[in-house]
Amino acid sequence: MKGSTYRRCSCRDPKTGKELGTSCPKRNSRNHCTYSVRQELSPLEDGSRRSFARGGYASLKAAQADLDHVRALLGLADSDDPEGTESVSEMLSEVSRERSSLPEVEETRRRLSSGQDLIGSLTVGEWLDRWLAAKRIRKSGLNRYETDIRVHLKPRIGQRRLDRLRVSHLSEMFADIRDANTEILEHNAQRRAALDALAVVPWKGAENRARRKAMKAAIDTMPPFRRVTGPATRLRVKATLRSALNDAIGQQIITFNPAAHVEIDPVRKPKALVWTDERVAKWEQTGEKPSPVMVWTPEQTGAFLDFVAEDRLYAMWHLIAFRGLRRGEACGQPWSETNLDTHSLTVSSQLVQDGWDVEASDPKTYSGYRVIALDDDTVGVLKRHRERQDADRTEWGTAWVETGHVFTQEDGSWLHPGKVTDLFERLVAASGLPPIRLHDLRHGAATLMLAADIDIKIVSDTLGHSDTRITRDIYQSVLPHVGKSAAEATAKLVPLQRKAEREAQVRQAAEEAKKAAKAKTKRKKKAKAKKTAKKG
């Protein structure tokens, strides 16, 4: 395809208004004319010609550089690739029309090879929509991604070009979220103060009623109570964006993932603490839990299981407390994967909540697929539970819903995970024990296994963790007596001179006290014998 550079004079005849062109008397003057370029492009479908044209270059060198740039772009498409040639020609035609900058050759080559549109620029919001539509994961995961995108990502960075997204843009986004949190807290405090003030205004009296009406009207104009975006949510938003941008890199749409490099406030996961006597006493006085994650001692766990021994779902509480199943895994455990003869069960499914709806799903992670060994006592509990379920099946007759699950409602239908949590909380409150969450029973099972000196790998496999580090970081809350034993064993390894001297002094004092006691006993015996001799 032909292309050329040429000089052009833009002077016009003052009478006719036409360009003078080569007849301009100043044409040969230095720096009077500018240079232009024209490059033929592939013809349109109807056969009409089209070209890239641009003028106003101050020098022939500058014009030639742009012409070479245009030719390099045209050369990206192979001669036997009419679609590629058409895409490049259409792009150059639009660039010429819009008088926009020529795109970089390597960027265009990458976009052309990955099948992307060369015209227009993909925005972050457009890519997030495309990425989410292509995801094939369970509904709860999709809903989480959709919320992150709709609430946080698209409103703040959705209009930015995907290929121009930078770390600084994301830093600004998270700073904006923090600022919004401050504003939310202020609005919540104002609304709470207004409601508290309204609560103390008497109902009786025309003046009070008018005052209450005015106060209610003012409250209605205030923003409603809202939740702040906490550190864990911000980390999740970052993870969602990072995953989406990683897929964009995989499709060669971008080459850099700024979400992998932006720094945000770290999330400090609460450590699991054991309900010691001191913590229980403080909780009874203040009603405050020392940590969101609390674990019962073995004695407290035993007391709870004794308290709920007659509960219809006792076998579920027992299984979670000793084997550490997740709530959804216990609710979705089928009898077909529970082999009481071999003392094992296989976790292969779960029930999860989507809002308040319940759906069957695969385990949380690949490591969630696992075989769990069962002790004799747990097997006995499950056998008694099965007998009770068989009796319920007979009693319900044709109304029985056959789900095949180990744990069900009275009629055999699915257990709702949310209702199971509510029931557990009511049972804990009725037992008088310090409060824990249902998931904390899982923490307790891990803690008991670690306290029993079970290998960390076995504990990790039982819980369904992909890495033993997860088990150590989250679940290794040490029971008091285990911690004391470890402290004593550690202290004995370090020889201290003053400690040895003190122990020697203690031993010497003990020996002297022992000698004194013997001497005293000897004197008493002698005195007694003397007394007896006198009487005789």
pLDDT in tens, 463-472: 888 788 777 7
Domain boundaries in the chain?
A: 3-113, 124-260, 273-486, 495-536
In this structure, the number of other CB atoms found within 10 A of the CB of residue 486 comes to: 11
Identify the three-state secondary structure at position 3.
strand
Tokens of 75: 């050369």
Tokens of 29: 């003057």
Point out which residues pair with 295 in neighbouring strands.
274
Phi, psi of 204 (to 5 degrees): -80, 150
Reduced 3-state DSSP string for 491-504: HCCCCCHHHHHHHH
The predicted structure's pLDDT at residue 346: 95
The predicted structure's pLDDT at residue 199: 92
The predicted structure's pLDDT at residue 478: 56
The predicted structure's pLDDT at residue 16: 76
**pLDDT tens for each residue of 202-232:** 999 999 999 999 999 999 999 999 999 999 8
CATH code linked to domain 273-486: 1.10.443.10
Long-range contacts of 526-534 (CB under 8 A, 24+ apart): none
CATH code linked to domain 124-260: 1.10.150
The predicted structure's pLDDT at residue 406: 97
CA distance 149 to 127: 11
Query: Which residue ranges in the chain fall short of pLDDT 70?
Result: 1, 20-22, 26-28, 30-31, 119-120, 473-500, 535-536
The predicted structure's pLDDT at residue 155: 95
The single-letter code of the amino acid at 203 is W
User: The whole model's pTM is what?
Assistant: 0.62
Residue whose token pair is 């050759």:
105
CB-CB contact of 83 with 115 (8 Å): no
Q: What is the DSSP letter of 149?
A: I
CB-CB contact of 236 with 179 (8 Å): no
CA distance 106 to 252: 12
CA distance 478 to 488: 15
In this structure, the number of other CB atoms found within 10 A of the CB of residue 376 comes to: 8
In this structure, the number of other CB atoms found within 10 A of the CB of residue 264 comes to: 17
Tokens of 256: 């850099």
